[in-house]
A and B are shown apart, each in its own frame.
Chain A
Amino acid sequence: MRQSTASPPVTAFAEWRDYFALLKPRVMTLVVFTAFCAMIAAPGTLHPFIAFTGILCIAVAAGASGALNQWYEADIDALMKRTAKRPLPAGKMAAGEALAFGIALSVGSVAIMGVALNWVAAFWLAVSVLFYVLVYTVWLKRRTPQNIVIGGAAGAFPVICGWAAVTGDTPLLAWILFGIIFLWTPPHFWALALFMEADYSKAGVPMLPVTHGLRHTRIQILLYSLLLVPVTIAPAVLGLTGWAYGGTAVTLGIIFIALAIKVWRNTATLAADMAPEKQLFKFSLLYLACLFGALVADRLLLP
């Protein structure tokens, strides 16, 4: 177990802000948003308080995964500028506290999800935490440059949880939404990894730009973008959603591929010259938000 030994005595008693930071609130935002959209898109109704409880459980479970991830990765977090100020590498908290916090929140959120909503949703919530912590963080992140692809699956499970919370099952559309986040993650994070390559290299994390070079990463970004767009259009083609979603998916998909092509054509090696990569990274956030927003609009506004 990693134990912070360099922390001064005063900082050894962690503040509430440090626990909050362990939950990776920014990552949680995306998880909550996609799960919320899945809950609205799923056929059926929930009492608003129970729906709120479901979202809370998904958010807390995502936060717990983040806490367990930070507990395990404190050593590499200390090496990267982006993560060095996190509570564990900064010596603001003992490692054991972060571990206990993560386990307590994971178990609590799964149990409440099961009791308040249903055990199918609770099962997928438990799978999402275990997948993120054991398969992604412990097993694959430091072993394969495809770590981001695996991490994408972990980030996609909340959609399944949100859908199952309403219906108690996981039909085709729920798994297509899972596929969208799964395929969206590699171009999104590799675009970031391209202009943050030096940071990952320093920490020894086998990110694709570090292990296979910038050219190969740009090709992979384009390939995943070409796979992503048809999957986003699939719900409309299969008649699972209406034209509002389909039109949005096609329009945004064209822009996404155009930006991925710009990245593919870029040959820059310095972060300062990687404007297309930064553009794709920023657009990918907007892309996912608009796509899921369109799904909700499609369900709410159209008969």
Chain B
Amino acid sequence: MIPDTTASWTPAERAAFARRRQSRNLAIGLVLGALVVLFFGISMVKMGPGIARNQARAAAAADAGKPMAPAQP
């Protein structure tokens, strides 16, 4: 919440406010970065084995000169 009384602030209050805002923005940035890493990691663990299996099947089909069979559920 940004108060509507900013005009009455002293330079020291402005500096303190800017410092707080900067530290909070930095924290939000770090949290967002951590969420990116988290979602990437979850995706890799959950889908990685399936992707690797499909790639191996595609490579095997290419070697045999046949079109790739549809993936089994």
Point out residues on A near B: beta carbons under 8 Å.
9-10, 12-16, 19, 47, 49-50, 53, 56, 94, 96-97, 112, 115-116
The 5 closest A-B pairs by CB, nearest first: A16-B27, A94-B1, A9-B3, A10-B13, A116-B42
Most buried by B among A16, A50, A112: A16
Tell me whether A16 and B24 are in contact in the complex, defined as CB-CB below 8 angstroms, given that A9-B3, A10-B13 are known contacts: yes
Tell me if B1 and A96 are in contact (CB < 8 A): yes
Partner of B45, one of A13, A50, A94: A50
Tell me whether A15 and B13 are in contact in the complex, defined as CB-CB below 8 angstroms, given that A49-B42, A53-B42 are known contacts: no
Main secondary structure of the interface of B (DSSP, over half): helix
Most buried by A among B3, B5, B9: B3
Tell me if A13 and B2 are in contact (CB < 8 A): yes
**What B residues does A13 contact at CB under 8 A?**
1-2, 17, 20-21, 24
**What A residues does B41 contact at CB under 8 A?**
49, 53
**What B residues does A9 contact at CB under 8 A?**
3, 5-6, 8-9, 13, 17
Most buried by A among B1, B6, B17, B46: B1
Closest chain B residue, CB of each to CB of A48:
B45
| Binary A-proximity of B20-38 (CB < 8 A = 1, otherwise 0) | 1101101100000000001
Tell me if A12 and B45 are in contact (CB < 8 A): no
For the complex with contacts A9-B13, A12-B1, A16-B24, 10 further pairs of A-B residues with Cβ separation under 8 Å are A9-B6, A9-B17, A10-B17, A12-B2, A13-B1, A13-B17, A13-B21, A15-B24, A49-B44, A97-B1
Is B61 close to A, CB under 8 A? Answer: no
Could you pull out 9 A-B pairs where Cβ atoms are within 8 angstroms? A9-B17, A10-B9, A10-B13, A12-B3, A13-B21, A14-B24, A19-B27, A49-B44, A116-B42
